[in-house]
A and B are shown apart, each in its own frame.
Chain A
Amino acid sequence: MSHQWNIVDATDTSHPDYYHRVVDCQWACPAHTDVPEYIRLIAQGRFTDAYMVNRHSNVFPGILGRVCDRPCEPACRRGRVEAKPVAICRLKRVAADHRDDVTARLPKIPRIKNGKRIACIGAGCASLTVANDLLPLGYEVTLFEQFATPGGLMRTNIPAFRLPASVLDEEIGMILGMGVDLRLGHRVESLKEMLEAGGYDAVFVGSGAPKGKELLLPGREEAAANVHIGISWLESVAFGHVERIGGRVLIIGVGNTAMDCCRTSLRLGARQVKVMARKPRAFFKASAWELEDAEEESVEIIVNRSPKAFVLENGRLAGMTFECMEYDLDPRGRIIAERVSGEEFIPADDVILAIGQDNAFPWIERDLGIEFNKWDVPVVDPATFQSTRPGVFFGGDAAFGPKNIIWAVEHGHQAAISIHRHCQGEPLAERLPPGVNLQSRKMGMHEWSYANDYAPAERRLMPHVSLKERFQKINIEVELGFSAEQVAQEVQRCLNCDVQTVFSAKLCIECDACIDICPVDCLTITPNAPEAQLRTQLKAPAKNLSQPLYVSAPLPQTRRVMVKDEDLCVHCGLCAERCPTAAWDMQKSHVRWPHAEDEARSLEQRKPKIA
């Protein structure tokens, strides 16, 4: 391998990130769910297996299959090759909806415990994941929950028409069934008391970001009866404390909570719901699909209106005044100037504020050795999730502010590893590194053990309950799930990016067969050069600079190099199929993303054996 300054060194594909990042969805997923693998299992009708692949990484496939923020989908390669990504999230729901009973396949819980006790504060997705990972290792886990039901924001903030209670109950039940000591209706008022009382070897704080942001404008106090804070209001709806809302409702803010608020309002009697956005559509925080679903229900989204005051008539809220905003954008779409061009009054019976939420830790005393930063949130290590007080860990929204369920799950996995290492007296940072296993998919002449035909079908549309029916009750799930035919087509849209093209330079005879057959022109044999120049020497332009090029070792006959632009490879396997010397092979990459059980196994193996 040459180290001359003017060429690119051969790509080190043994680095665990190399093949991992080729699988765009898995790389983008905070929990690194093996998406192509479970999609293939669904294609084979193996729903339970598909569910278990999911559960291993993301713990709540049924829940996430409905309400995940899906960072995988914008990353999906299908979206670059064609227009729309694979409906990854909704396929996850297919696995959850059609699986068999998985009780027998859940981790076994040892009867004899390891003597370590863990307290988790808040029974949301982060704490539940910690329990899920630690119970099989023999830990005793106590979950403290302020409400009478577990689930945290998944239950209180996501309306039942998007996420039915039965789905929540079942997946949370799997973890509770492992033997969690669940303390419902138990609000932790003082961390100091808990720590001083002792009895826990580690404390995990997964209490979420439960404080909705306030909008202090003239009239706010006087109109209090009809101005609601989004997440608290959704919570009251979830627990049946609120059953009605006025006919005309304004939602302030345009994030995903706003979308839940506007759609919930429609189910509580509102006839006219307007979502008020300060900025143009390109700046909306809500996911595109949540906006779509709200607009399908005739919610009106009004842009460029900045709230100015609450207006009262006869001591009751009558509406709000807004400043009409105008923005100047630069060519990249960023705001460079803004001005007020007028004012507008919009009548309303109720206003819901959905402009964000904050962490709140009034129950954590500031003299416990837990350092708080200038925003008054605890300082948390982003890799170990430990606070500045050893043995106290944070995860989910409580750690770094509001994110989403899938991030909270991954925080839980990582915190569980840290808690285990902490309890075993091992340094937290020296955790197991990730790895990748590769396994050939070649079965014989022209036979590959995956469906490598490119299916030109477009993304399937999720069928919905009709607009007439869906408002009759608050808990009618709007999305019906894919039909069998839709599943059959959607699974084939997956490009199997995890079936990697693995190249062996020493076998190459430079016959060009792979280059000529590649449908997306992602291969080139060329003299080596600095990367910027190399990108201009390729058969088709490699424009995605965030995707590194694969550069082989020098080829035996001419010392040129094989360069692959992974960006648009459709993993059809034709390079391997056409290669006369099997220099190309298609190999399934299996990303080993360690969890607490792997950590435990590795620590066990390293222990000195007593003869």
Chain B
Amino acid sequence: MTFITKPKVAHPSLPRNALGCTRRDYEGALSTLCAGCGHDSITAAIVEACWGLSLEPQNLVKLSGIGCSSKTTAYFVSGGHGFNSVHGRMPSIATGANAANRRLSYIGVSGDGDTLSIGLGQFCHAIRRNLDMLYIIENNGVYGLTKGQFSASADVGSKAKKGETNLQPPIDPVLLALDLGATFVARSFSGDKRQLVPLIEAGLRHRGFALIDVLSPCVTFNDHEGSTKSYAYTREHYEPAVLADFVPREREITADYGAGEASEVILHDGSRIVLRKLDADYDPGDRRAAAARVQERMSSGEYLTGLIYLDASGERPEFHQVSRTPEVPLNSLPYEALTPGAKALEKILARYR
């Protein structure tokens, strides 16, 4: 970490978004993570994505649990709402907040410990509920905050900094999410912002649960020889399958794609995701095939990355449809609607007599 704050001075010709803001306006507090931590890069990618979407900071909700990863919500979009919750319980807080106000954008940042160990049940149910949020896992395979023990995402055979070998099989969040019916499943790498930034933009715009599992090397406890989540190992075993370019509703597609090279998915708000398959046989619309390919690549030690699975059809109902939450935030409902009163309570109680 550093104790020297980033000065306010900025490049005089930084581009501005639709709100007239530069990406510097989307920054947060000084990061207290180790210098070189992958999480800081993900923070920068989130800043870039929020700026690119011209998000109004007051319309963003940042949620997290406990861990190195969960500290990062303080490091971006200072103007957003933040909730640093109990360990592994961020999905519950997200559910409650979402129910109270569906008009905000929800971004949850968690780690492999917070998600796959203590919070695994919460994570599964958030997917099952199809909560309308972007869920980012900053996945480094170790418990960094407690000095580098193996986490539930550590690969079999992966070596710890002091030399011991991990013997327990990993829980893979991507396979889990595919299995539980998530509609937006992606994997990326903190060292590849070109891939990561459009995924975050698309994930924030996707209606329903969007998962991005981001490999994010722990520079202090898991960036050595023998680690399977180091910068060097990830780069060597990194296989982008589908590149996703996010195009907001108000922007024209300017990139020039060759015929048959790209396909387009239109999201509920009119923005588009242009998918470019690097592997001609891969179909990001086929859940079972996607899961099979992830497993197959995993068995040969490769990380399949990109937008692995996307269902933007809206056929799978999301949380608000199922729970019939009101369109408007609860705080804007009239008092009478929020509290039906003693008579209504009487009626309800009468049903149980």
Residues A574 and B4 in contact in the complex (CB < 8 Å), given A509-B223, A557-B232, A580-B34: yes
* CB proximity of B33 to chain A, nearest CB, Å: 10
Does A199 count as interface, using CB distance less than 8 angstroms? no
Task: Name the residue of chain A whose CB is nearest to the CB of B43.
Answer: A516
Which one of B6, B12, B13, B37 contacts A513 once the chains associate, using CB atoms below 8 Å? B37
- Decide: A81 and B9 in contact? CB cutoff 8 A: yes
Chain A residues closer than 8 Å to B35, beta-carbon distance: 513, 577-580
Residues A512 and B12 in contact in the complex (CB < 8 Å), given A572-B7, A573-B4, A580-B34: no
A311-B2 Cα distance, complex, nearest whole Å: 74
* CB proximity of B198 to chain A, nearest CB, Å: 16
Please report the total number of B residues contacting A with Cβ < 8 Å: 31
- Decide: B41 and A512 in contact? CB cutoff 8 A: yes
* CB proximity of B231 to chain A, nearest CB, Å: 5
A-B contact count (CB 8 A): 98
Interface with B: A145-153, A415-423, A517-525, which one?
A517-525
Does B103 count as interface, using CB distance less than 8 angstroms? no
Which one of B12, B13, B34, B231 contacts A510 once the chains associate, using CB atoms below 8 Å? B231
- Decide: B36 and A520 in contact? CB cutoff 8 A: no
Chain B residues closer than 8 Å to A578, beta-carbon distance: 2, 35-36
Which one of B4, B13, B231 contacts A572 once the chains associate, using CB atoms below 8 Å? B4
- Decide: B40 and A513 in contact? CB cutoff 8 A: yes
- Decide: A513 and B41 in contact? CB cutoff 8 A: yes
A313-B51 Cα distance, complex, nearest whole Å: 74
Which one of A521, A543, A558, A574 contacts B14 once the chains associate, using CB atoms below 8 Å? A521
Does B251 count as interface, using CB distance less than 8 angstroms? no
- Decide: B231 and A509 in contact? CB cutoff 8 A: yes
Does A452 count as interface, using CB distance less than 8 angstroms? yes
Task: Name the residue of chain B whose CB is nearest to the CB of A454.
Answer: B7
- Decide: A456 and B8 in contact? CB cutoff 8 A: yes
Interface residues of A in 492-539 (CB under 8 A from B): 509-513, 515-517, 519-522
- Decide: B10 and A519 in contact? CB cutoff 8 A: yes
Interface residues of B in 12-63 (CB under 8 A from A): 12-14, 24, 34-38, 40-41, 43-44
- Decide: A540 and B232 in contact? CB cutoff 8 A: no
Does A287 count as interface, using CB distance less than 8 angstroms? no
- Decide: A543 and B13 in contact? CB cutoff 8 A: yes
Task: Name the residue of chain A whose CB is nearest to the CB of B44.
Answer: A516
Does A111 count as interface, using CB distance less than 8 angstroms? no
Residues A454 and B223 in contact in the complex (CB < 8 Å), given A577-B4, A577-B35: no
Chain A residues closer than 8 Å to B3, beta-carbon distance: 446
Residues A511 and B232 in contact in the complex (CB < 8 Å), given A520-B9, A572-B7: no
- Decide: B193 and A454 in contact? CB cutoff 8 A: no
Residues A81 and B12 in contact in the complex (CB < 8 Å), given A509-B232, A510-B231, A512-B190: yes
Does B141 count as interface, using CB distance less than 8 angstroms? no
Which one of A81, A82, A580 contacts B36 once the chains associate, using CB atoms below 8 Å? A580
Does B11 count as interface, using CB distance less than 8 angstroms? yes
Does A581 count as interface, using CB distance less than 8 angstroms? yes
- Decide: A452 and B232 in contact? CB cutoff 8 A: no
Does A434 count as interface, using CB distance less than 8 angstroms? no
Residues A452 and B4 in contact in the complex (CB < 8 Å), given A511-B219, A580-B219: yes
* CB proximity of A82 to chain B, nearest CB, Å: 8
* CB proximity of A534 to chain B, nearest CB, Å: 16
* CB proximity of A178 to chain B, nearest CB, Å: 46
Chain B residues closer than 8 Å to A572, beta-carbon distance: 4, 6-7
Chain A residues closer than 8 Å to B12, beta-carbon distance: 80-81, 568
Task: Name the residue of chain B whose CB is nearest to the CB of A448.
Answer: B4
Most buried by A among B4, B12, B217: B4
- Decide: B11 and A568 in contact? CB cutoff 8 A: yes
Does A570 count as interface, using CB distance less than 8 angstroms? yes
**Chain A, 189-231, contact with B by CB distance < 8 Å: what is the 0/1 string?**
0000000000000000000000000000000000000000000
A456-B5 Cα distance, complex, nearest whole Å: 14
A578-B44 Cα distance, complex, nearest whole Å: 14
Does A541 count as interface, using CB distance less than 8 angstroms? yes
* CB proximity of B177 to chain A, nearest CB, Å: 26
Chain B residues closer than 8 Å to A509, beta-carbon distance: 36, 219, 223, 231-232
Chain A residues closer than 8 Å to B6, beta-carbon distance: 517, 519, 572, 574
Task: Name the residue of chain B whose CB is nearest to the CB of A570.
Answer: B9
Chain B residues closer than 8 Å to A513, beta-carbon distance: 35-37, 40-41
Which one of A543, A557, A568, A580 contacts B235 once the chains associate, using CB atoms below 8 Å? A557
- Decide: B11 and A520 in contact? CB cutoff 8 A: yes
Task: Name the residue of chain A whose CB is nearest to the CB of B230.
Answer: A509
- Decide: A558 and B36 in contact? CB cutoff 8 A: no
Task: Name the residue of chain A whose CB is nearest to the CB of B3.
Answer: A446
* CB proximity of A114 to chain B, nearest CB, Å: 53
Does B191 count as interface, using CB distance less than 8 angstroms? yes
Does A453 count as interface, using CB distance less than 8 angstroms? yes
**Chain A, 392-423, contact with B by CB distance < 8 Å: what is the 0/1 string?**
00000000000000000000000000000000
Chain B residues closer than 8 Å to A580, beta-carbon distance: 34-36, 219
A510-B35 Cα distance, complex, nearest whole Å: 12
Chain B residues closer than 8 Å to A540, beta-carbon distance: 11, 13-14
Task: Name the residue of chain B whose CB is nearest to the CB of A446.
Answer: B3
Chain B residues closer than 8 Å to A453, beta-carbon distance: 4, 7
Task: Name the residue of chain B whose CB is nearest to the CB of A578.
Answer: B35
Interface residues of A in 305-349 (CB under 8 A from B): none
Chain B residues closer than 8 Å to A568, beta-carbon distance: 11-12
Chain B residues closer than 8 Å to A511, beta-carbon distance: 36-38, 41, 190-191, 217, 219, 231
Task: Name the residue of chain B whose CB is nearest to the CB of A81.
Answer: B9
* CB proximity of A527 to chain B, nearest CB, Å: 11
Interface residues of A in 228-250 (CB under 8 A from B): none
A454-B38 Cα distance, complex, nearest whole Å: 26
* CB proximity of B304 to chain A, nearest CB, Å: 19
Most buried by A among B10, B11, B37, B232: B11
* CB proximity of A6 to chain B, nearest CB, Å: 20
Task: Name the residue of chain B whose CB is nearest to the CB of A455.
Answer: B7
Interface residues of B in 157-201 (CB under 8 A from A): 190-191, 193
Which one of B40, B44, B231 contacts A557 once the chains associate, using CB atoms below 8 Å? B231
Chain A residues closer than 8 Å to B13, beta-carbon distance: 540-541, 543
A509-B234 Cα distance, complex, nearest whole Å: 12
Chain A residues closer than 8 Å to B11, beta-carbon distance: 520-522, 540, 568
Chain A residues closer than 8 Å to B41, beta-carbon distance: 511-513, 516
A412-B40 Cα distance, complex, nearest whole Å: 54
**Chain B, 69-111, contact with A by CB distance < 8 Å: what is the 0/1 string?**
0000000000000000000000000000000000000000000
Chain A residues closer than 8 Å to B8, beta-carbon distance: 454, 456, 519
* CB proximity of A508 to chain B, nearest CB, Å: 10
A579-B232 Cα distance, complex, nearest whole Å: 16
Chain A residues closer than 8 Å to B34, beta-carbon distance: 580
Chain B residues closer than 8 Å to A446, beta-carbon distance: 2-4
Task: Name the residue of chain A whose CB is nearest to the CB of B38.
Answer: A511
Known contacts A512-B191, A519-B6, A570-B7; 11 additional CB pairs below 8 A are A446-B2, A456-B9, A509-B36, A511-B36, A515-B44, A516-B40, A516-B41, A572-B7, A574-B6, A579-B36, A581-B36
Q: What are 17 contact pairs spanning A and B, CB under 8 A?
A: A453-B7, A454-B9, A456-B8, A509-B231, A510-B231, A512-B40, A512-B44, A512-B191, A516-B40, A519-B9, A521-B10, A521-B14, A570-B7, A574-B6, A577-B4, A577-B35, A580-B219
3 smallest beta-carbon distances between A and B, as pairs: A580-B36, A454-B7, A516-B44
Binding site for B on A (CB under 8 A): 80-82, 446, 452-454, 456, 509-513, 515-517, 519-522, 540-541, 543, 557-558, 568, 570, 572-574, 577-581
Binding site for A on B (CB under 8 A): 2-4, 6-14, 24, 34-38, 40-41, 43-44, 190-191, 193, 217, 219, 223, 231-232, 235
